[in-house]
Structure formats: C-alpha cells, structure tokens
Amino acid sequence: MSRGPVGVAVIGAGVISKQYLDNLTKFPDLQVHAIADLLPEAAKARAQEYGIAEHGTPELALGHPGVEIIVNLTIPAAHVEVATAAVRAGKHVWSEKPFALDRESGLGLLKEADDAGRLLGCAPDTFLGAGLQTARRVIERGDIGVPLTAQTVFQTPGPESWHPNPAFLFQHGAGPLFDVGPYYLTALVQTFGSVRRVIAIGSKARATRTIGSGPRAGEEFEVEVPTHVSALAEFASGASSHSIFSFDSPRTRMGFVEITGTEATLSLPDPNYFDGELCICRTGEKEWTALPTTGPASGRGMGVLNMARSIRGDEPHRASGQLAYHVLDTMVSVSESTDSGAFTDVASSAPPSAPLPEDWAPNEATIDGVRA
C-alpha cells in the first residue's frame, strides 16, 4: 500500500531537465526527492535551483527508498541502460525520447519492465495537451469526415547555432528523424492508428558542422546521420502520410501538421507543444476557421503525472512504452528504407491511448489517500 504523492527522482540535469522540473515540482501528486547526474556538480546546481534536498550520482536516485518513478533525461544513447537499471531497482521509468536506438534493446526493455511489473513511459507527452487532445475530439466526432491523409513538415537550419553541445543531435539515434520525429509520428499514430509500412529518402548536406554558441563555439564535429528525411507512411487503417524532417533548410518551418478527411482539412498545433492554434477548412471554403482548444496544457511532465496517477489508481496509462516502441520501430523502419530505397514493413503496433478528460487537472491533488 502506498500513500500520498508519488516519489520522483530525475536522472540527467541537462537543458531539458529545467522544463520538466518547472512542472514536476508544482504538481501536488508528485514529490521530487532527488536530482542525479554523472556530473554531481550539475545535479547539485539544478537541485539548489529548485530547492530539492538530495543530489548526486545516478546510484543515489536508483537506491532512494522514497522514489517510485525515475525520470530519465539522459542522452539518447543512455536511455535504455538507465531505464533498465531503474526497472531492476524496482522503479517505474519515464524516459525522454527516443525510447531506444534500435529494436532489440527496445524490446528487451519492454520485457524487463513487463517481467518486473513496472510501468514504462516515454516522451512525447505533448499529445496529452489541450491542442492535440482537442484535435482528437474534433476528428472523433466526425467534423472532418473520415480521416484519409496527413502532411507534416519540420525544417530548420539545425540546432548547432544555438545549442552549446549539439554533437549528440547529429549522432546515431538522433538527427531530425529521431530527435523531432517522435512528436510528429506520435500525433499521426494517435490520429490514424498503427503504421503498417514506410518508404523514405535521406540525405546529408554537410559532413561536418560547427558549434555556434557557448564555450565551444567554433569547434567542428562530424555528422553521422541523414540531416534531411522525406518519408511516406501507410497505416493499418489505410490512411497515409508524408513527412519531412530536416536540419538542412535555411528557412524554418516547424509544427506543420494537416489532417485531410472526406469533409474537411484540420490544421493541428505544433506537436512539440501542448497547445496552439487549431483550424479547420471545410469543403467549399477558402479560409481557415479557428477552433477553441480545451483541456490542460501544463507542459512537459504531464506524462509523468499521468503515470503516477496510474500507479496509484485506475487512470489509464497513456504515453506508454508500447506506444513509444511502435514509434521507435517506425523510425528505424524509415531509416532502413533510406538505405534500401524500398518499402519497409513495421512489425509492431500500438493500441490507441485513452483520451484525456477535458477536466483533467494537473494542479489538483487527487491521490492523497491510501491506494493499492
């Protein structure tokens, strides 16, 4: 039996940890006990910033008796290693995306957690926000008719101009496909269901890039992965999508997602955010009509909170490991298709996530009592 807020520890005190901690430290159903990092001084600085008493190496977080969820904010190459260690320590795990870098390690992690009776969750949790949840309600009540196709576009010059340590974003397990692909692909899977097969083309504009900010500005690093990917996906429902993921565009175009149905086209908010503009253009109309969005949009950490409430009670776990693995499997299939030039089947599938109630309230205490 457990009582009260669910204990949390964060492993990884890097840039993204601040966005999480802004929310995790404010949700009444969570209690952040510790911040950990391979660099203890980084953990200490972040802990002091948020008034968190305990900080140190990952071993502190994994062995903490009050911690039930490890929030794994390490670099992509360490996601599976840290998550596996956490599961073996008896913890539930929320990881930043991607879920893993390959199918074998992803499936191994799923089995570890299933055997241990632990929950796995994974970013993005942006699909739980008001923007994409409202879009889902609009589609499910039939406002656009039968959803048929989608287009998504993410184009930037690349993160090396602003990120002080960007090399990992151009290594295996990253690039625009693995770094931003999970946001767009998760939104598409939530709309159309599981992906059945993909075909893609990938390219690399430059063999090296130069760090543009911070203490290492001017340093060059190697680009290991395609920095532009154009992918077609066919879903089990028969729907299809076309997506561009690029770090090679002088012009920035982010957050473009359009779903076309038999009766209308829906323009969705940027799937990297929790809210935004939602518009519809119906057959015969020339202009977009803005639609109001409803529901919570608290930001990163909503998925951790949903996991915590699932642990304590009967709330469905939405941003699940199975969903994250299917998105990973899709991205690996896209990557394989860029090498082969042929369609690649996606073997996995993901059940649809339960919709989030419009009155779901992150800032209200809901699990103060004793639960099994």
The domain that holds 200 is classified in CATH as 3.30.360.10
Mark which of 274, 291, 308 sits at the end of a domain.
Answer: 291
Q: How far is CA 322 from CA 99, 109, 158, 248, in A?
A: 10, 11, 30, 31
- The answer to whether the CB of 119 falls within 8 A of the CB of 311 is yes
Indicate whether 166 and 105 sit together in one domain.
no
pLDDT of 11-40, one tens digit each?
A: 999 989 999 999 999 999 999 999 999 999
* Residue that the structure tokens 């154009």 belong to: 230
Q: Are residues 136 and 54 in the same domain?
A: no
Whether residue 100 sits in one domain with residue 81: yes
Using the structure block, give the residue that is written with the tokens 């503009």: 277
- Residue 209: give the domain boundaries: 128-291
Please indicate, yes or no, if residue 340 is contained in any of the structural domains: no
Using the structure block, give the residue that is written with the tokens 């929310």. 23
- Name residue, tokens 């409430």: 309
Tell me which of 251, 273, 291 is where a domain ends: 291
Roughly how many angstroms between the first and final C-alpha of the chain, as a whole number? 5
In a domain, 316, yes or no: yes
| Residues 38-52 as b or e (16 or more Cβ within 10 Å = b) | eeeebbbebbeeeeb
CATH number for the domain harbouring residue 38:
3.40.50.720
Report yes or no on 175 lying in a domain.
yes
pTM: 0.94
Domain match, 155 and 249 both: yes
Domain boundary among 291, 312, 336: 291
pLDDT of residue 370: 37
**Do residue 111 and residue 161 come from a single domain?**
no
CA angle 216, 222, 82 (to 5 degrees): 80
DSSP 112-133: HHHHHT--EEES--GGGSHHHH
- Tell me, yes or no, whether 84 lies in a domain: yes
pLDDT at 2: 63
Residue 171 lies in a domain: yes
Residue 336 lies in a domain: no
| Torsion of the alpha carbons at 49, 50, 52 and 58, rounded to the nearest 10 | -70
Question: Does residue 139 sit in the same domain as residue 287?
Answer: yes
Asked whether residue 104 falls in the same domain as residue 161, the answer is no
pLDDT of residue 1: 43
Say if residue 134 is in the same domain as residue 278: yes
* Exposure letters 124-140 (e unless 16+ CB within 10 A, then b): bbbbbbbbbbbbbbbbe
CA nearest to 266, candidates 320, 335, 365, 188: 188
Which stretches of the chain score pLDDT less than 50?
Answer: 1, 370-372
Is residue 337 a part of any domain in this protein?
Answer: no
Do 184 and 210 sit in the same domain of this protein? yes
Look at residue 37 and tell me if it is in a domain: yes
**Residues 261 and 144 both lie in one domain:** yes
pLDDT of 372 reads: 32
Contact 64, 54 (CB under 8 A): yes
Q: Which two tokens stand for residue 39?
A: 């660099």
Domain shared by 60 and 76, yes or no: yes
Distance separating alpha carbons of residues 327 and 320, to the nearest angstrom:
11
Q: At what angle do helices 175-192 and 321-340 cross, to 10 degrees?
A: 120
Q: Which of 114, 129, 130, 118 is nearest to 72 (CA)?
A: 118
Tally the domains of the chain. Answer: 2
* Judgement on whether residues 229 and 150 belong to the same structural domain of the protein: yes
Predicted confidence at residue 352, as pLDDT, reads 85
